[in-house]
Amino acid sequence: MENTVLLVDDERNILDSLDKALGNEGYGILKAGSGAEAIRHLMRNRVSLVISDLRLPGMDGAEFLAKLKEAHPDTVRFVLVGHEDLKDAVALKKCEAARYIIKPWNDDELKGAVKEALERFNLVAENRKLSETVKKQGLALKDLSANLEKKVDEKTRKIKENFFAFVKIFSNMMELYDHNVGGRSRRVAAMARKLSAKMGFDGSDGELIETAALLHNIGLIGLPREMIDRDEDLLTADERELLMHFPKVSQDLLSSVDTLRQAGIIIRGCMERFDGKGWPDGLKGEEIHIGSQIIAISAFYDRFRHGAKRLTPREVLIKIMEERGRAFDPAVADAFFGFLGEWIEEERAFASDSDGPEVARFHITGIRAGMVLAENLTSAKGRLLVTKGTVMTEALIERVMKFHQIEPVADCACIIRAAARA
């Protein structure tokens, strides 16, 4: 996305100096000598950031920036001020600028401030675009007829199958790295998908959120395993800094795949907070994608239900109620409260220590798609093939059987239980 910066000052030498400082940074540059001329530029161009002097002929800078905010609330506003302008508290407050640049400025500091502001502008714009797309698609999906599935082209169906197979590969990478991380991602994905449906985000919208949830921890690959489940209060400053980068790493890993780019953006926002105190970008409120918020509350519940500190559903519910409006969007939290009762029933399908009557021991050749491993599947030499809790698919069974021909699976048998129906 190319960003356009509008420079507004009635002194030509100031405009030229700003142009010289920013002209080689890859931005489109527009110049105006007055507020009226600047407004004409804004009518014809999409402007990301405006840098305006406070003292302008005719319409002063404060009045111009007030009109700018009213017509283009998302456009970032910087104000150029002299030392004498700092005394005019009323005008400065009226501008409601994101930043005040004191003349004479330092070019490097100006470039850094502009770059940071535009990165935030682009991220907010992309998040808003994704949210609008999800909402529009959700409304459109409700109008589809029951027979639409029959009209879907076979080639499209195959592409979709291949896409989810590709997602499973990423998921299996997490399983191989740490089965706890992989199991957590599967539970969070199932919970996020069902909560999304409860909130009206079904079909492709629900699949997008489920995909993001399934892969939201992929950036943890490569981090020391002993620090992943450690209480945050026990982390060193260096470990905390390392952990805070994993949403960006997750997004970077997925950004090169077109079909996963939107999921990457959602994943990047999973550690943001509704009150703006999250990371990595400090987004708040509606700036955070609704899918990110759904995944965040699902992951929070799962961490306290299945992590080192195992709490009861009621105890976790109390924690979420305390964070309503702080960590979590009140609307998402309220939907979660209404959804939790039915999820507690679903949660049993993911129990890793179940030994009820549904558990049975099958010969390796008796495994069927839809069964769930109740214990790790290993080779006779102790090599881990598939972790417990994994839902077996045709593709996974085929890979296990091929490996079995080379290196037999232990005792040629494994404990299996049937997967719960959705």
Contacts of residue 145, defined as CB under 8 A and 6 or more positions apart, other chains included, come to none
User: What is the rounded distance in angstroms from the CA atom of residue 310 to the CA atom of residue 351?
Assistant: 13
Q: Taking the CA of residue 264 as centre, how many other CA atoms within 13 Å lie in the half-sphere pointing to its CB?
A: 17
Helix (H) or strand (E) holding 102: strand 99-102
Write phi, then psi, for 31 (nearest 5 degrees): -125, 145
- pLDDT of 290 reads 95
- pLDDT of 353 reads 42
Domains of the chain: 4-120 (3.40.50.2300), 154-350 (1.10.3210.10), 359-418 (3.90.105)
- pLDDT of 155 reads 53
- pLDDT of 17 reads 92
DSSP state of 48: S
- pLDDT of 412 reads 47
pLDDT tens track of the chain, all 422 residues? 689 999 999 999 999 999 999 988 889 999 999 989 999 999 999 999 999 988 888 888 888 888 888 889 889 999 888 777 666 666 677 677 778 888 888 999 999 999 999 999 999 888 888 888 877 777 766 666 555 556 555 655 655 555 566 566 666 555 555 555 556 888 898 899 999 999 999 888 888 999 899 888 888 776 766 666 666 667 778 777 777 888 888 888 888 777 788 989 999 999 999 999 998 999 999 999 999 999 999 999 988 887 767 888 889 989 999 999 999 999 999 999 888 888 887 776 655 444 343 456 667 777 877 777 777 788 777 777 887 777 778 888 888 888 888 887 765 445 555 444 33
Q: Given its phi and psi angles, is residue 244 left (phi above 0), alpha (psi -120 to 50 degrees) or beta?
A: alpha
Residue 65 · residue 32 · CB < 8 Å: no
| CA separation, residue 201 to residues 157, 197, 222, 298, 344 (Å) | 21, 5, 33, 15, 21
Nearest to 375 by CA among 415, 419, 410: 415
Which residues are 4's β-sheet partners? 28
- pLDDT of 289 reads 94
Structural Rg of the chain based on CA atoms: 27
- pLDDT of 354 reads 40
